[in-house]
Amino acid sequence: MKMEEMSLSGLDNSKLEAIAQEIYADLVEDSCLGFCFEVHRAVKCGYFFLDDTDPDSMKDFEIVDQPGLDIFGQVFNQWKSKECVCPNCSRSIAASRFAPHLEKCLGMGRNSSRIANRRIANSNSMNKSESDQEDNDDINDNDWSYGSEKKDWELKVTLPFILLSYTAKKRKSDKNPNSPRRSKSLKHKNGELSNSDPFKYNSSTGISYETLGPEELRSLLTTLMFLFQQCGVISEHTKKMCTRSLRCPQHTDEQRRAVRIYFLGPSAVLPEVESSLDNDSFDMTDSQALISRLQWDGSSDLSPSDSGSSKTSENQGWGLGTNSSESRKTKKKKSHLSLVGTASGLGSNKKKKPKPPAPPTPSIYDDIN
């Protein structure tokens, strides 16, 4: 049709411009009309004057345009620097840190219950053997299923860290003794750790045990047990000990030996991988010497009030070898941390021992914990 034949290109610019102006004018008129209808409707429906208020109220809610204030006139970070007094411990805490502090202070909230449960489980595992693990599970009905997973985590994460930090010559932890931060950095050390002066790094024996507190001692022992059954090579970037078996392909025997020498002294020997489940074949003299030494030293650190029970419990010792042989057999559920068994019973028990000979006199650690 005619219209289709026409083309705009035939038109010159001025005409195009005129057309554009016309279109624009049309659009503006549309908008004006629209506005008129709105106003008319508002007038007829009665809401036209609704947004007018008296001058007094207008002044109250006027928009504020001063530097440093928002449009309501409020100061921006007013609450940042404010300090609140904790009702529980009566300490002055920064406002932004108040909520987490209160959570820990009152002992409520997820993290604090986790920490507490971990502490309980640790002290429990020291006393009881595997059969009591169900109790542990009942007590700790948190997100984690307690038991082997939790202990693996501890071994993997907390212990290497502890040991590595202990074998360093200087400690850098002493900032502000009163600041709540201190408890955070020490949190991984299984509960309150007094700022005891730990080791003198003795090159001949590795670590001198005399100055160890009971907590540290326990963690040291767990690491030792660790080293008897698992690879243990410390990964450079995560600082954790490798938890794979002694035949782990990622690390060489040399590395494993080096780790053991580092922790146990130059005479440490890599446990024989080929040995049958009878772990007694590996060099027990070393570990036995260590164990007996630890026994005496550990108990000497304890409060004298425990002497009555502690003497008898000493002999029950810390059957490292025993438990490691058990764990070898039944991989998963064995607790690495259960240190009960008689020292003399090393190597004699191949079966799972349901309960230790004597109920572990709620071992020495209970009182301390």
Partner 1 sequence: MVVSKMNKDAQMRAAINQKLIETGERERLKELLRAKLIECGWKDQLKAHCKEEVIKEKGLEHVTVDDLVAEITPKGRALVPDSVKKELLQRIRTFLAQHASL
Interface positions with partner 1 (CB under 8 A): 2-4, 6-9, 11, 15-17, 19-25, 27-37, 39-40, 43-44, 48-49
Q: Which is nearer to partner 1, 30 or 149 (CB)?
A: 30
Q: Give the nearer residue to partner 1 in terms of CB position, either 29 or 278.
A: 29
Q: How far is the CB of 58 from partner 1 (least distance, A)?
A: 14
- Rounded to 5°, angle at Cα 253 from 251 and 259: 80
Taking phi first (over 0 means left), then psi (-120 to 50 degrees means alpha), and beta for anything else, what does residue 59 get? alpha
Q: What are phi and psi of 69, to 5 degrees?
A: -120, 155
**Minimum gap (Å) between residue 19 Cβ and partner 1:** 6
210, 233 contact by CB (below 8 A): no
Select 9 or 276, whichever has its Cβ closest to partner 1: 9
Residue 342, number of CB atoms within 10 A of its CB: 17
Task: Report, in Å, the least distance between residue 68 CB and partner 1.
Answer: 27
Q: Rg of the chain over CA atoms, in angstroms?
A: 36
Which residue lies nearer to partner 1 by CB, 42 or 273? 42
Minimum Å distance from CB 14 to partner 1? Answer: 12
* 232: nearest Cα among 219, 248, 216: 248
Q: Smallest distance, Å, CB 18 to partner 1?
A: 9
Between CA 123 and CA 362 the distance in angstroms is: 9
Query: Rounded to the nearest whole angstrom, what is the least distance from the CB of residue 29 to partner 1 in the complex?
Result: 7
Alpha-carbon distance of 283 to 261, in angstroms, equals 14
**CB closer to partner 1, 9 vs 77:** 9
Shortest spacing between CB 182 and partner 1, in angstroms: 55
Closer by beta carbon to partner 1, 2 or else 172: 2
Both tokens assigned to 210: 């005399």
Least Cα distance to 325 among 314, 311, 341 occurs for 341
Minimum CB distance to partner 1 smaller for 34 or for 357: 34
Check residue 230 and report its DSSP letter: B
Structure tokens at 51: 């947004």
Cα 136 from Cα 122, distance rounded (Å): 9
Least Cα distance to 189 among 113, 110, 118 occurs for: 118
